[in-house]
Structure 1
Amino acid sequence: MSAAARPAGRPRGAMLDGFRPVPGVHCETTMLNNMLRHAGIDVSEALVFGLGQGIDAQFFPPPPHVPVPPMLTGRVGSGRIAENACAAMGLSLATVQEADDAGAHAQAISALSAGQVVGVTVDIFHLDYFASRTHFSAHCLALHGLDASTAYVVDTTQQGGAQELPLESFTRARASNEGFMPSPRLHWHLDGGRDPLPGGAADLVPQVWPAVHGAAARCLDRGRGDDRGIPALRRAAQEIPGWQRLPRSEVMIPETARFWRFAGTGGTNFRGLYAEFLAEAHALTGDADLLPSLTRFEEIVTAWTELIDHLTAYPEALDRAAHLKVAAARLHAVADAEEAVFGRLLELSRDRVGAV
């Protein structure tokens, strides 16, 4: 896990020795899993997501006078998964946000030189290899090397995994304050732990049910308002019929569906990850009572996929108003299904952890 400094006479840099990129489907869990694996902790991305209590829904209304549909995400806020997962594993996650590029560069070099993979938030607009040309600043990368001209990072499998990014582009992406949820020059790295490091999933069995309880309780908590959890799904469903009035709705609505299918904060991919977590939780705990909830979550993933397919077909619909009403009904049904399964998981987890 050591890092080798670059030759003298060039801008200071560092590369991690023995680093091997770990693939993943979501940016933050990919970032954290690369940090964990380099530290010798071998766990799946789904277990990281589950222990991180990553499942949620968040509704963001469009800014005033901006003709775009609201944003509906399928996860907790940026950084929360890493924080929760590290807490469950007994790890200390250092969070550093520098005021300028020089400070951020020096901080990254320091962490790399100490043998740590560095997690970074970036704006995808400035990533040379990214197809999207919109500003989105809540994207995460795992940084494992810097030299005079290049940042060596790991992104999701969808974005090509291991990438070599021009240093100028990396610096702009890290410093951006544009787009969704900007956090300029924010870094994370592992910083020791309170207990001996877990070697793998078997060491983390006692943390499974508390993580299930935390996620289920949050998703069902109506006290957070109608823009979080299950109420956020219902609010989005209520607004879908009005999307027909959006300018260029035949373009915007399929783009929203694509966001739900593929994007780092989208909906269906997180439901798939959580289903994988429940399957792994069952395998680790041997608790047969998890199986019905696992089956229901797999059905929820299918329902999300069918909803997305339906919205994607909006431009070809003969009656677009009726088409959106069907989409709204489907999202209401998804909300019903998620409320039921989280209710059951909350009951089970209360029994297992003794929560009130």
Structure 2
Amino acid sequence: MSAERPTGRSGGAVLDGFRAAPGVHCETTMLGNMLRHAGVDVSEALVFGLGQGIDAQFFPPPPHASVPPMLTGRVGPGLVAEHACAALGIGLVTLREADDAGAHAQAVAALSAGRVVGVTVDIFHLDYFASRTHFSAHCLALHGLDDSTAYVVDTAQQGGAQQLPLASLVRARASDEGFMPSPRLHWHLDGGPDALPGSAADLAPRIWPAVQGAAAHCLDHGRGDDRGISALRRAAGELPGWGLLPRSEAVIPEIARFWRFAGTGGTNFRGLYAEFLAEAHALTGDADLLPSLTAFTDIVAAWTDLIDHVSAHAGAADRSAHLKEAAARLHAIADAEEAAFARLLELSRDRTGTV
């Protein structure tokens, strides 16, 4: 672990020598900062790829509710950190407390041991966050606490290093409102291997099992029609009916904005996975990865085109036809992703010698 010592504060601790590294996604930003402070300097894309983070999940609107459908592009909260740490051979401690005092004590104890703390929060209670909606599956890297202030790292989109009133952090951690709430959940690293991974020789053997796990996961139709490739196809099948949603002319462009910018959106993670495949190629030197890298680069472009199209829904001359075209584009993306994952699954099985 890092040799730096935390600075004692009344009622808390602040890590000395901590250097913030904002990323494009909250959980990979969180874990990347935890790892880097522990001496494991790996890219955000590698964290995401080793964490088998690529996926799709579809959440239809609840009956009689004004909540729009949600299509995400990653596995559930916490799984990226769990898988990435397992791949790197580093222990990950997951804790949850029933009350605010216990959660605060947990965080102070980990900080006092020189560890960055990962926490889940509801963005509604973050003073610096522009959104005024509840979303409780957001992650922060916490590197300090004192009597009045929490020192955190968020994504680059949210300003990176932030100082947050302690009362705001307490409310954000305790919230059970919004999407996937996980009140007072935190993670910290637990030691590490004798030789911390970081070189190409250390990391290359870890690539193929992670690729195989992610590809098999996305292609598994047994998970239901709301997960993986099946989720993309279900969303595409339902998309023409989104014109009947309440306030559809405002809601549908907002869905597109979510896909483009939000941390759980679709195209963000396709871009991260393309970056991971490029890094995997550099680490392994395996030329057979190049077609998959090209495929995911094309998939990112197709998502971008789809988002541009959906964003223009309100101004379309024929909104019904516009949504049918969007559905056709999403079906084509599902076809492309299924083919890309099938190739990666076959290739990774060959390289690992497993089924």
TM-score band, normalised by the shorter chain? over 0.9
Displacement after TM superposition at 1:232 (Å) = 0.1
* Whole-angstrom distance in 2 between the partners of 1:182 and 1:204: 33
Displacement after TM superposition at 1:192 (Å) = 1.1
* Whole-angstrom distance in 2 between the partners of 1:128 and 1:146: 16
- The worse-fitting range, judged by mean Cα deviation, of 192-201 and 249-258 is 192-201
Amino acid at match of 1:49: F
* Secondary structure of 2:196's aligned partner: coil
Equivalent in the alignment of 1:3: 6
Q: Deviations over 1:132-152 (max 9, x none)?
A: 000000000000000011000
Amino acid at match of 1:46: A
Query: Which runs of 5 or more residues in structure 2 are unaligned?
Result: none
Displacement after TM superposition at 1:195 (Å) = 4.6
Q: Deviations over 1:179-208 (max 9, x none)?
A: 000000000000013553213454211010
Summarize the alignment of residues 180-195 of structure 1 with structure 2, pairs less than 5 Å apart: 180-195=179-194
Equivalent in the alignment of 1:119: 118
Paired residue total: 352
Are the counterparts in 2 of residues 31 and 141 from structure 1 also a CA contact under 8 Å? yes
Equivalent in the alignment of 2:318: 319
* Secondary structure of 1:140's aligned partner: strand
* Secondary structure of 1:135's aligned partner: coil
Are the counterparts in 2 of residues 41 and 200 from structure 1 also a CA contact under 8 Å? no
Equivalent in the alignment of 2:130: 131
Amino acid at match of 2:6: A
* Secondary structure of 1:193's aligned partner: coil
| Residue 51 (structure 1) aligned with residue 54 (structure 2) | no
Equivalent in the alignment of 1:289: 288
Amino acid at match of 2:211: V
Summarize the alignment of residues 328-347 of structure 1 with structure 2, pairs less than 5 Å apart: 328-347=327-346
| Residue 61 (structure 1) aligned with residue 64 (structure 2) | no
Are the counterparts in 2 of residues 74 and 267 from structure 1 also a CA contact under 8 Å? yes
Displacement after TM superposition at 1:177 (Å) = 0.4
Are the counterparts in 2 of residues 43 and 201 from structure 1 also a CA contact under 8 Å? no
Displacement after TM superposition at 1:319 (Å) = 0.2
Equivalent in the alignment of 1:300: 299
Amino acid at match of 2:86: A
Amino acid at match of 1:166: P
Equivalent in the alignment of 1:208: 207
Amino acid at match of 2:287: A
* Secondary structure of 1:40's aligned partner: coil
Are the counterparts in 2 of residues 41 and 197 from structure 1 also a CA contact under 8 Å? yes
* Whole-angstrom distance in 2 between the partners of 1:153 and 1:173: 13
Are the counterparts in 2 of residues 125 and 173 from structure 1 also a CA contact under 8 Å? yes
* Secondary structure of 2:191's aligned partner: strand
Displacement after TM superposition at 1:355 (Å) = 1.3
Equivalent in the alignment of 1:226: 225
Are the counterparts in 2 of residues 68 and 252 from structure 1 also a CA contact under 8 Å? no
* Whole-angstrom distance in 2 between the partners of 1:295 and 1:125: 38
Are the counterparts in 2 of residues 43 and 200 from structure 1 also a CA contact under 8 Å? no
Q: Deviations over 1:206-260 (max 9, x none)?
A: 0100000000000000110101000000000011100111111111000000000
* Whole-angstrom distance in 1 between the partners of 2:199 and 2:318: 53
Amino acid at match of 2:143: H
* Whole-angstrom distance in 2 between the partners of 1:37 and 1:180: 29
| 1:200/1:35 CA distance change after superposition, 3 Å | farther
Summarize the alignment of residues 7-26 of structure 1 with structure 2, pairs less than 5 Å apart: 10=10, 12-26=11-25
* Whole-angstrom distance in 1 between the partners of 2:264 and 2:253: 16
Summarize the alignment of residues 232-271 of structure 1 with structure 2, pairs less than 5 Å apart: 232-271=231-270
Amino acid at match of 1:228: R
Amino acid at match of 1:241: P
* Whole-angstrom distance in 1 between the partners of 2:344 and 2:333: 16
TM-score after normalising by structure 2: 0.98
Amino acid at match of 1:115: G
Equivalent in the alignment of 2:92: 93
Displacement after TM superposition at 1:298 (Å) = 0.2
Displacement after TM superposition at 1:62 (Å) = 1.7
Q: Deviations over 1:261-307 (max 9, x none)?
A: 11111000000000000000001100000001100100000000000
Query: Which runs of 5 or more residues in structure 1 are unaligned?
Result: none
Are the counterparts in 2 of residues 58 and 76 from structure 1 also a CA contact under 8 Å? yes
Root-mean-square deviation (CA), in Å? 0.9
